[in-house]
Copies of this chain bind each other. A is one copy, B any other.
Amino acid sequence: MPQFADRVAKAQRSFIREILKVTADPSVISFAGGLPNPASFPVPEIAAAASKVLYESGPSALQYSTTEGYKPLREWIARRYQEKKGMDVNPEDILITTGSQQALDLVAKILVNAGDTVVMEKPGYLGAIQAFTIFRPQWRSVPLENDGPDLAALEKAVDGAKLFYAVTSFQNPSGLSYSEEKRAKVAEILSRNEIFFLEDDPYGELRFKGRALPPVYKQRPEHSMLLGTFSKVAAPGFRLGWIVARGEIMERLVIAKQAADLHTGSLDQMIVHQFLADNDFEAHVARISQLYGDQCRAMQAAIARHFPKNVHVTDPDGGMFLWVTLPEGMSATELLKRSVACKVAFVPGAAFFVDGTGENTLRLNYSNADAATIEEGIKRLAACLDGCMQGAGACKG
């Protein structure tokens, strides 16, 4: 057995992906995954696009291509930022990545020395915790409020830090979003402290309430990177994401990407570009958002009917998740053991905290179940919760 590198000596498999294996049992209702609803996948349109690409441009779709990505796709992404959000983004500011998970790996790789301080939200996105942890940062985290981060805590946390990482719209896991006011204040705090910002925006298109807000990136593009993905608005199986960045940062990212996988799949990029060119993307996104809005309201209504009143749940304007806070002292990990026996699953919240707290929190996904399934699953979960609260302390943390 070789001696492993220090960076993976204590690494563990994603708890969430292990839970997903349990939920392969079809009798289990799962609110655990972060899966888009396959009913939202534009399968016939993708099949038509794949056929067109292969018959018209087969050899180039199957050949090696540039590290930066397929140029027409980069142009489409840049144009959309310009037209929808009034942002100054050019095609050469876009690097196509193998899902936005790869973007997290590349950013961590080019920026983080062991011991560097990285600031994230509390709770924060697990995929980012995993990608960064490989490069052994020192973590600090800033509590999320209903309208964005606790600003005083942010001001304190960024002191001496290298980077602030945040999901500013419909966050995973909390569903919370930064208000217009907080976006401005976050930009101001980061600028004053000369802190680089990594803004992750996988869910921003999936708004079903309220008014669209541009990414914080728009306010200081020279000192930010912005991540996007087609996983939630086309399909995740393509593994197509991107980084928006400029100048020397983009140069380092391209070098790191060359070493990481040369380039992202040519065929995938060309199929998705063809799909975008031949279909009404705005209407497609609107349909997904409406579907998820309906399912979110169904879950909120079921929770209101069935959950004990001392359980707190967020009220998102978009995205795929509700965030549940149980009374102090309760353990969502213990609740999961009980709920799996009742055939309903979720993700205990502790994995989303870099400071070891969050034991009384959990994440519920509503994107991947219809209203009837949501009602039944929440009813089962409520029964487990009741059992925990009245039982012999089995759900104490």
Contact = CB atoms under 8 A, between A and B. Distances in A.
Interface of A: 1-8, 11-14, 17, 33, 35-36, 38-39, 41, 43-44, 46-47, 50-51, 54-55, 58-67, 97-99, 101-102, 104-105, 109-113, 116, 127, 130-131, 133-135, 162-163, 196, 231, 235-239, 247-249, 251-252, 254-256, 258-268, 271
| Residue in A98, A112, A231 whose Cβ sees the most chain B Cβ within 10 Å | A98
A12 B248 CA distance: 12
Contacts of A63: 35-36, 38, 41, 235-237
Contact of A62 (B13, B235, B254): B235
Nearest to A194: B2
Given A3-B162, A239-B262, A239-B265, 19 more contacts: A4-B252, A5-B111, A5-B113, A8-B256, A17-B66, A38-B59, A41-B62, A46-B54, A47-B50, A50-B54, A61-B237, A64-B236, A98-B265, A101-B260, A109-B134, A131-B260, A239-B264, A265-B265, A267-B268
Given A105-B259, A258-B14, A262-B127, A252 B8 contact: yes
Given A4-B110, A268-B265, A258 B13 contact: yes
Contacts of A135: 5
Nearest to A67: B17
B62 A58 contact: no
A42 to B, nearest CB: 9
A65 B36 CA distance: 12
Contacts of A65: 237
A213 to B, nearest CB: 25
Contacts of A58: 41, 43-44, 46-47
Contacts of A5: 109-113, 116, 135
Contacts of A254: 13
A281 to B, nearest CB: 16
B256 A111 contact: no
A313 to B, nearest CB: 25
Contacts of A43: 54, 58-59, 62
A268 B264 CA distance: 11
A99 B50 contact: no
